[in-house]
Amino acid sequence: MFSQVQSFLADYKNIDADTITMESSFTVDLGLTSYDLIEMCVHIENRFGVEIADDALPVMSRVADLVTYLETEKFSK
């Protein structure tokens, strides 16, 4: 799942994929704004076929948080 998220983020914000790690912070390391995060969630929901709960976004600060969430959603269906 990490490689899929890494590839998505690299394409989404034109970021070098090699700089994206599980520990990368969306705002500090990847430079995403709060608007970017909301827009990213919409694209992720469409691409991965999941729904990200409104209360989940504020606690996702790192790539690892998103990967864990997606893995949990994928396997809970």
Q: What is the pLDDT of residue 4?
A: 94
Domain 2-75, CATH class in plain words: mainly alpha
Long-range contacts made by residues 71-76, C-beta under 8 angstroms, separation at least 24?
A: 71/1, 74/1, 74/48, 74/50
In this predicted model, what pLDDT tens digit does every residue of 13-62 receive, in sequence order?
999 999 999 999 999 999 999 999 999 999 999 988 899 988 998 899 99
pLDDT bracket for residue 77 (50, 70, 90): low
User: For the packed helices 2-13 and 63-75, what is the interaxial angle rounded to 10 degrees?
Assistant: 130
